[in-house]
Amino acid sequence: MELTAEILIPSEDPAEGEVLALSAPISFWGGVDPKTGIIIDARHPERGECVAGRVLALPGTIGSSSASAVLLELIHAGKAPAAILMAEPDAILLLGVVVAREMGWATPPALRLAAADQAPLAGRRVALEGDRIFVLGEAGARP
Amino acid sequence: MLALTQEERALAAGEQGRGAAVAMRVVAEAARLMGAPRLLPIASAHIDGALYHGDSGTLFAEALVDGGARVSVPATLNVGALDLVGCSRVRLGARAREMARRMMRAYERMGCAPTWTCAPYQAGHRPPAGADVAWGESNAVAFCNSVLGARTNRYGDFLDIACAIAGRAPDYGLHRPENRRATVVVDASGLSPGLRGSEAFWPVFGTWYGLALGSAIGVVAGLQGFATEDRLKALGAAAASSGGVGLFHVAGVTPEAPDLATACGGPDGLAAAHVIHVDGPALRAAAARLSTAEGDAVDAVAIGSPHLSLDEVVELDRLLAGRTARIPFYACTGRHVISALDADGRRARLEAQGITFVADTCVVVTPILERTDGVLMTNSGKFAHYAPGNTGLAVQYGALADCVESAVAGRLVREDRLWS
């Protein structure tokens, strides 16, 4: 299976990972530990999951304007998502990627994908190349 | 499609130095992402990027300083990770403390005013209605748009300082009058006057509002005569924590809402607006959501998110009425309030009664609390929202009077009849 999506922030390298599809909007600041990538928001349904190395699908972002700082720290610490899928572009969160690129650090790609298209990808392994998303299989499966 | 002027392109290409070029490119990239057709000049900025979350933010700020970047418009600073005034002890390790200090210094070196508060609007920084500004910190954004009527989007860390250096911001969203109109009418007139007139109502209503509206713009009917500046501050902070609220209108109170129709952009807008009636059960559910602890244990109290105004400290003093807190009691505020408290000796007296003031920062953004478990009581919807994830403590929410009585008793004392 293959999907195409609008590129929000391109990446030179292809990205691959298991999709962590959040079932509720999240605030990165206060919601994700910047050192580990673990979701720490006590009220979030995916609390305890880790965003590091996953293809993170976000139905929406809420809350603090420090989300970009948390994402920049995750990128610098090597704990960033492998890629980000967002229902709507968000000038707060994605600024973390924009700044990381200015700093010369390797950055994950960000693509625009409607929430309805995100949910079926939950737990699947996907590869991203340019504006294409290839669904490789179930969680943990190798292509 | 984004069009930059010749001057903007020259700035991005490095004509005025590397730091200014990075800032201009970051602003332009944000504009491209959000579909802005152009940039617009800004009058001021409030910068939330100087809070230490890890080394990356320090390295970015120092890269801007090394590149010769300076702010080109008046810029205030939100909280940092250290209490530079020295009211409280921050429990950061030596290395993190040094990186946090380097970060704060870098922002000051770029020409930002060392206000170090999340309530700059109560520290003398109030842009006029209609002015385009670039403000960060979600509660400050909500207040700036809603209560002051100035125009800002929700600027994230790094875009705020980039705009302050470039002197420009992407022209989209809440900078455009047509995007500031309410599409939802929230009718609060059915709630009892006693509830609407109570301090505890506002953070709970804000929490409900953020959950119900998300990032939609609403106008609230039924709060005229009950709203004060500190209550609107509490409403906005809670709404911007539970939802993506950057602007709310209160009919008869906030500047763009002399009446419901004006807030909706005219009679047609009002007729098309979605109407929500908020009732007691909805607010009870929102109040219950703010508390995550059970039982009557309380190990510490924290107030002041957003930073306390002088009026709020005076109210704390009145409620404490000469008694002493038996458990740690943190009152977070800005240095603008600390200097007023020092001038009349009030700080020393309240400290002797067990109050620990926290200046320039607060207890959920940096380690100040004595323990990382137990129960924290607060009257702040924003503290209640973020404390469990950021501090490890469970939360009991209550009015300021409940917080004071609980601190004096050393266990939970709360007037719950308000919600029944």
Q: Mean pLDDT across chain B, nearest whole number?
A: 96
> For B158-247, where are the alpha helices, taking DSSP H only?
159-166, 193-196, 201-213, 229-242
Q: Which of residues 195-254 of B touch A (CB under 8 A)?
A: 210, 214-215, 240-244
For residue B287, pLDDT over 80 is answered with yes
What's the CATH number where A82 sits? Answer: 3.50.30.10
- Inside any domain, residue A37: yes
Is the C-alpha dihedral spanning B266, B271, B273, B277 positive or negative?
positive
Q: What is the mean pLDDT of residues A120-137?
A: 94
Q: Report the residue from A8, A29, A61 with minimal CB separation from B33.
A: A8
Q: Report pLDDT for A142.
A: 47
- Inside any domain, residue A111: yes
Least Cα separation, residue B323 to chain A (angstroms): 34
Using a CB-CB cut-off of 8 Å, the residues of chain B touching A34 are: 53-54
**What H or E segment, with its residue span, contains residue B329?**
strand B329-333
For residue A63, pLDDT over 80 is answered with no
Instruction: Give the C-alpha separation, B384 to B18, whole Å.
Output: 42
Q: Report the residue from B156, B289, B364 with minimal CB separation from A92.
A: B156
Least Cα separation, residue A26 to chain B (angstroms): 10
Residue B115 CA from chain centroid, whole number: 14
Using a CB-CB cut-off of 8 Å, the residues of chain B touching A102 are: 22, 25-26, 60
Q: Report pLDDT for B202.
A: 98
Question: Which of B206, B186, B223, B192 is closest to B420 using CA atoms?
Answer: B192
Binned at pLDDT 50, 70 and 90, residue B136 comes out as very high
Own/partner long-range contacts of B3-12 (Cβ < 8 Å, ≥24 apart)? B3/B37, B3/B38, B4/B28, B4/B38, B4/B39, B5/B39, B8/B39, B8/B166, B8/B168, B11/B166
Instruction: Give the C-alpha separation, B144 to B56, whole Å.
Output: 29
For residue B89, pLDDT over 80 is answered with yes
Q: Report the residue from B25, B153, B390 with minimal CB separation from A102.
A: B25
For residue B130, pLDDT over 90 is answered with yes
pLDDT in tens, B166-180: 999 999 999 999 999
Hey, how many other C-beta atoms are within 10 angstroms of the C-beta on A48? 8
Please state the domain count of chain A: 1
Is residue A64 flagged as an active site residue? yes
Domain boundaries along the sequence of chain B: 6-177, 181-288, 291-411
Using a CB-CB cut-off of 8 Å, the residues of chain B touching A103 are: 56, 59-60, 63
Q: Report the residue from A65, A102, A103 with minimal CB separation from B137.
A: A65
If you ran DSSP here, which 8-state letter would residue B296 be given?
Answer: S
Q: Report pLDDT for B378.
A: 98
- Indicate the fold that domain B6-177 takes in CATH: Aconitase; domain 3 (3.30.499)
- Which of the residues A11, A23, A27, A64 is marked catalytic? A64
Q: What is the mean pLDDT of residues A40-62?
A: 92
pTM value is 0.93
pLDDT in tens, B113-128: 999 999 999 999 999 9
- Inside any domain, residue A143: no
Instruction: Give the C-alpha separation, B41 to B146, whole Å.
Output: 21
Q: Check if the beta carbon of residue B379 is closer than 8 Å to that of residue B203.
A: yes
Q: Which of A21-30, A60-69, B196-205, B388-397 is the least confident region?
A: A60-69
Q: Report pLDDT for B307.
A: 98
Least Cα separation, residue A56 to chain B (angstroms): 19
Q: Report pLDDT for B156.
A: 86
Q: What is the ipTM of this complex?
A: 0.92
Q: Check if the beta carbon of residue A112 is closer than 8 Å to that of residue A8.
A: yes
pLDDT > 70: percent of chain B: 100
Query: Helix B159-166 to helix B18-34 angle, to the nearest 10 degrees?
Result: 120
CATH architecture for the domain at B291-411: 2-Layer Sandwich (3.30)
Q: Which of residues 280-339 of B touch A (CB under 8 A)?
A: 289, 292
Q: Report pLDDT for B106.
A: 98
Hey, how many other C-beta atoms are within 10 angstroms of the C-beta on B93? 9
Strand-strand pairing, A132-137 and A2-4: antiparallel
- Alpha-carbon distance values, B350 to B151, B174, B296 (Å): 38, 41, 25
Q: Check if the beta carbon of residue B48 is closer than 8 Å to that of residue B157.
A: yes
For residue B302, pLDDT over 50 is answered with yes
